[in-house]
Structure 1
Amino acid sequence: MYQTIVEPRVSETDGVGHINNTTVPVWLEGGRNKLFSLFMPDLSFSNWKMIILKTTVEYKAQIYFGTSVEIKCWVKRIGNTSLELYEEIWQGNKLTVQANTIYVNYNVQENKSEIIPDHIREELERHLYIEQ
């Protein structure tokens, strides 16, 4: 599992007093930075590989300014050219968000998907989600 701590900002708080739901996908993406580094060690946009195909977000509870949140990211499935992530956001002891995201390993220059290399696949397998 990849873990990232985020400190909610005032600017992310909406008029109802909780973190705006448009902020959550940005936080989830921030929790994937270590995963991005596997595919693009220099994080160069000219050689970017991870193209998002689909994401679903389920809001379980409100998130508030003033208390840090923890983003947890697991690998749920590894295909030939794609992978599915399972993600959670926790604030305190409360699960606030569950998400699933599918990425494809994509060569932008050649405009086609590519097989996930074995050395990356091995690292991804270390972060597999085991349903409880």
Structure 2
Amino acid sequence: MFTTTVTPRFGDADGLRHINNIAISEWFEQARNPVFRFFTPDLDLSYEKWKLILARTEFDYIGQMYYGEDVEIHTFIVRIGNSSFTIGQEAWQRGGLKAKGQAVTVHYDFLNKRSVPIPDDIRKKLQEHLVTEDEK
């Protein structure tokens, strides 16, 4: 599991200091970078080097988050398929779970416009961060 600490920006909050729902999408994407590095270590976004495409995201908002307090994002793998995998994420503030979500990500060849199998060495790295529902 990876942990990323996010400090909410002023623009992430509304007039009541509540964090806007769209901030979760941005924070979760930022916290997926360690997983992205398995595929593209330097995070080079060129077509020749970038190997992932986002197929689906979903978020559940469980509790309010507030400006002025850090948020801890937990990132882990919940499923590994042939060419796709699912990243699970949770946002914690004040010791409580405030949001959770998943992102289905596909190992993708942009030049040939098709999914490709996840290489064994990367699959092994993903498996090191595989978390079952019981382990959360």
TM interval, short-chain normalised: over 0.9
**1:55-87 CA distance string (max 9 Å, x none):** 110000011011101100110000000001111
Q: Which amino acid letter does the alignment assign opposite residue 103 of structure 2?
A: T
Could you tell me which residue of structure 2 aligns to residue 75 of structure 1?
A: 77
Could you tell me which residue of structure 1 aligns to residue 16 of structure 2?
A: 16
Alignment of 1:41-60 (within 5 A): 41-46=41-46, 47-60=49-62
1:119 aligns with 2:111: no
Q: Which amino acid letter does the alignment assign opposite residue 125 of structure 2?
A: E
Q: Matches of 1:48 and 1:28 in 2, distance apart?
A: 19
- Give the aligned CA root-mean-square deviation in angstroms: 0.9
Q: Which amino acid letter does the alignment assign opposite residue 2 of structure 1?
A: F
Q: Which amino acid letter does the alignment assign opposite residue 103 of structure 1?
A: T
**1:4-49 CA distance string (max 9 Å, x none):** 0001111111133201101110000011011111101121111211
Q: Which amino acid letter does the alignment assign opposite residue 11 of structure 1?
A: G
How many residues are aligned here? Answer: 132
Query: After TM superposition, where is structure 1 displaced by more than 3 Å over at least 4 residues in a row?
Result: none
Q: Which amino acid letter does the alignment assign opposite residue 67 of structure 2?
A: F
Could you tell me which residue of structure 1 aligns to residue 92 of structure 2?
A: 90
- What TM-score, normalized by structure 1, do the two folds share? 0.96
Could you tell me which residue of structure 2 aligns to residue 2 of structure 1?
A: 2
Percent of aligned pairs with the same amino acid: 40
Q: Which runs of 5+ in 2 are unaligned?
A: none
